[in-house]
A and B are shown apart, each in its own frame.
Chain A
Amino acid sequence: MAATFQGMISALQAFWEEQGCVIVQPYHTELGAGTSNPATLLRVLGPEPWRAAYVEPSIRPDDGRYAENPYRFQEHYQYQVILKPAPDDVQDVYLDSLRAIGIPIEQHDVRFVEDNWESPSLGAWGLGWEVWMDGMEITQFTYFQQAGGIELDPVSAEITYGLERLSMHLQRVRRAHDMRWGGGVTWAQVREAPERQFSAYNYELADTAMLARHFDDHEGEARRCLDAGLPLVAYDHVLKCSHAFNLLDSRRAIAVTDRAAYILRMRRLTQAVAAAQLEAAGGGGDG
């Protein structure tokens, strides 16, 4: 099952479905990480139990390498699992998921190495580990402590697999390019052309004046949506701000003095969205 990239993903889907997760779909606008998907960031708020799993394309313009680097891309894929509240045996369940995709973990050196996570623009942080298999980082494992500036209770466990690395390891290939995707096709056949084109766009072509305008516009629209009591819609506009910011950053178009201000604007919006969403969901009062 782990002979291909898509086979490995299917195995993960089946495993987490079995664990009672809702299998949601990748989000429809650009995200830097699966954490930003509302199925994680807005669902970890409040007391209601929630279990979800999904593939998320992670769009990081500044990580593009024109498909020249063996494992660094402006679009890579994460498998994101969010478990609220974090179950007592969550580490063992995670290890079982590795067995489920065909890794004989008894033969490997699988370790949880301290790594803490923080996103200033999301007002979010957590403590946990990166999971190493034979020295390679394959997963980020976090106990989510705060999101949108709100202390989380109960605490959720967030598991984020780096899919290309995991699959490359299973297939014993050194470059993502050679990884079998499925259907007789390699990663290179699927991803090489877009990596080249998007790297060129992100670094050389993106219209910075337009992006700066878009940031302002989406910020304004997010505020209007918040005023109208539509925090979920407002959040989409925050995500669009975030992608505009990332593109501006990859174009080196953010002046030193403006950077912190941009991040603060996104954090304020996210905090307002989180507070409004928590209230809309019942304020966490009676759950």
Chain B
Amino acid sequence: MADLIVEVGCEELPAAHCRIAEDTLPGLLSAELERAGIPAGSVVAHVAPRRLAAIARGIPERREAQRQEVRGPRADAPEQARQGFARKHGRAAEALVERDGFVWAVSEGTAVRAADLVPGALTAAVERIQFPRTMRWPGGRFSRPIRWLVAKLDGEVVAARIAGVPAGGESRGPRPGRDAVAVGSAATYLDDLRAHGVLVDAAERRAVVLGAIDEHGAADTMGKLEEVVYLVERPRVLVGEFPAGYLDLPERIPVTAMQSHQRYFPIRSPDGTLEPRFLVVANGGDDDVVRRGNEEVLVGRLDDARFAYDRDRKVGLAAMVAELDRVSFLEGGGSLADKSTRLGPIIEALCERNGLDDDVRRAALRAAVLCKADLVSRLVGEFSALQGYAGSVYAAEAGEPEAVCAAIAEHHMPDEAGGEVPDSPAGALVALADKGDTIRVAFTAGLEPTGSRDPYGLRRAAAGLVAIALDRGWRVDLPELAGERAVGFVLDRLEPVLLDEGVTIEELRAARGSGETEPAGVAALARDLHAFAGPRRDAVRDAYGRCARIAGETQAGDVDGRLLSDPAERALAEALAAGGGSTLDTAADLAAVVERFFDEVLVMADDEAVRANRLRLVAGVRDRLRRLGDFAQLPG
């Protein structure tokens, strides 16, 4: 058994690409080694910005010889056929073997050393990593240019090559130096690089950063931690300071100045108040020099923020609203003023449909007028993450009621998949209307997402729409709100939410097959189907299946009571008329009646009128059950 170390040395990879490689490289390499006939016992990945490394342990020394037998023509075939077969397999006709009335080309094969198989496997594995976007450089195509390659099986370099770069035994140390680092073997790899200050394993780097966060009370990592871990190879956590005067600004402004772009972590005192200090995760350099540089950068950004904030307050919210007709929303979607105007009727309809209070309606309508104003503010121009928040601050200064300010702040929520939904009903209304409008306009203009490309954030908008509808349990007319063409796209966002709750994909498909398009309605049906799993649900599924099969293309219609002669068919007609099958519980009862019906009644009666009447009855049962879900989707 031998251990393999591979390190693909790159120019700085994007943080998101690092995570993709870390997640997928072990599986890819494992599969390729297995395909090559030298399966590894285990494969792990270690990833830092300039290196994708994988260690595969327990690789067999060689792929054993494999005996191969290929059957040729019949033993009594003409000599010509025999000759041809022999030539094709590269041997003399005399070397063919006769058995079972055929001739055979038999080869014993030869064993192949792992070192000769590894190069192909690792090249294939690395090339199969799926990055969302790749680039070309003179030499190849990858996430970023590949500049060196280490590939050693135990102590021996293997003759691999990726993007024209031949494998060797030397890695490189941290920037800005150009030190070569000799890699001994898989066993020494992490230590070889650690000796030069590089922590190749992300978990080690994360531990360094988390340790400092704990020590200094930096609570607001806000999702930046995982990014920062992949922006450094030798993390040094430094504490910087800034003048306390900037803490007069509304709190999220200095916090955003620290977090967005700079990826600093704000520090809070134990009582939660913001301190004029921050953590910066550096990647080397002299601590004092680096700290001072970062402090100066932050003060510059805080100056910008203050300048923007002061200018915005002078301009005022009303003047910003007046600017909105000059700002484009989406191709075919008019201006932001047009968008704001469209939100009003959507909000009215949602209120109507869900019987919401008048004060909620008023707050939402007012917020709809104001919610886009901050997009022309200087503050949002500097810090786009302050969208919504900036507007709510300026609205409060303009004397708008609290509910309106809250709705403005919340209308972007949820910011990410699984993020918090708006807290206030008015915020939820504006958020739903805004997201629905964006999706409708984009789909109308043919801007729907393709593959991994979603430049207008439509998946996030749809996920947010669904999350809010479920959270509130509101009825949402999806075809009206997001447009007919986007209904399926929006309902697709139910999948992660419901699967996470334990609902199966079949149950969700069945619920969607009901024809229901309300997100909350589909979710309720899917959850009901899930809760109802068992023999009773199976009985309904079977009853539905028989009805659907027998009824075929038949449309449901009035059943003529006078043509019902058999007690079992009368019972079924009565059960249906009494509303049987409107809920899963009564559907299970109905299933028993259906079963009796099929046992006792011959649907395909000789009398055409009787037959048609029975088919209409069966179709009626099918359609009734179908409203609960397309049971044909459930496993049998």
Contacts and interface: CB of A to CB of B under 8 A. Distances in A.
B379 to A, nearest CB: 14
Contact of B12 (A85, A92, A112, A255): A112
A91 B11 contact: yes
Given A86-B137, A256-B326, A106 B12 contact: no
Nearest to A91: B11
B208 interface: no
A162 B480 CA distance: 50
A54 interface: no
Interface string B125-169: 000000001011111000011010000000000000000000000
Contact of B335 (A86, A88, A252, A256): A256
Nearest to A260: B331
A145 interface: yes
Contact of B300 (A70, A106, A109, A112): A70
Given A106-B177, A135-B298, A256-B335, A127 B285 contact: no
Interface string B323-344: 0011111010011000000000
A109 B335 contact: no
Interface stretch (B91-99, B287-295, B490-498, B617-625): B287-295
10 contacts: A69-B307, A86-B137, A95-B176, A106-B176, A111-B12, A111-B231, A114-B14, A134-B296, A135-B264, A255-B326
Contact of A69 (B14, B177, B297, B304): B304
B558 to A, nearest CB: 55
A107 B296 CA distance: 16
Contacts of A105: 176
B285 A106 contact: yes
A201 interface: no
A135 B294 contact: yes
B239 interface: no
Interface string A56-68: 0000000000001
- Pairs of residues from A and B, 6 with the lowest C-beta to C-beta distance, nearest first: A134-B293, A114-B14, A112-B12, A109-B285, A107-B286, A135-B294
A126 B144 CA distance: 12
Contacts of A133: 293
A174 B327 CA distance: 33
A155 B137 CA distance: 5
A70 B135 CA distance: 36
B285 A108 contact: yes
B136 A143 contact: yes
Interface stretch (B71-79, B276-284, B398-406, B411-419): B276-284
Contacts of B307: 68-69
B135 A143 contact: yes
A111 B329 CA distance: 35
B375 to A, nearest CB: 13
A134 B294 contact: yes
Contacts of A224: none
B537 to A, nearest CB: 50
Contact of B296 (A113, A174, A259): A174
A281 interface: no
Interface string B366-380: 000000000000000
Interface string A100-123: 000001111111111010000000
Contacts of A112: 11-12
Given A127-B133, A155-B136, 8 more contacts: A88-B147, A91-B11, A108-B289, A111-B283, A112-B11, A135-B262, A145-B136, A169-B293
B562 interface: no
Nearest to A98: B176
B575 interface: no
A68 B310 CA distance: 13
B484 interface: no
A203 interface: no
A183 B158 CA distance: 60
Contacts of A143: 135-137, 145
Nearest to B293: A134
Contacts of B297: 134-136
Contacts of A194: none
A107 B289 CA distance: 7
A257 B338 CA distance: 12
B113 interface: no
B135 A134 contact: no
A95 B175 contact: yes
A273 to B, nearest CB: 23
B300 A134 contact: no
A114 to B, nearest CB: 4
Contacts of B232: 111
A154 interface: yes
Given A109-B282, A133-B293, A71 B136 contact: no
A154 B135 CA distance: 12
A263 B135 CA distance: 25
A174 B296 CA distance: 8
A71 B299 CA distance: 13
A143 B290 CA distance: 28
Nearest to B326: A252
Contacts of A86: 137-138
Contacts of B331: 260
- Which of B138, B292, B326 has the most A CB atoms < 10 Å from its CB? B138
Contacts of B327: 256
B471 interface: no
Interface in B1-20: 11-12, 14-15
Contact of A109 (B12, B136, B284): B284
Contact of A88 (B15, B139, B285, B325): B139
A15 interface: no
Contact of B328 (A68, A174, A256): A256
A129 B299 CA distance: 23
A33 to B, nearest CB: 19
B178 interface: yes
Interface in A128-175: 129, 133-136, 143, 145, 153-155, 169, 174
B197 to A, nearest CB: 12
Contact of A256 (B139, B283, B325): B325
Contacts of A114: 12, 14-15
B139 A145 contact: no
Nearest to A105: B176
B64 interface: no
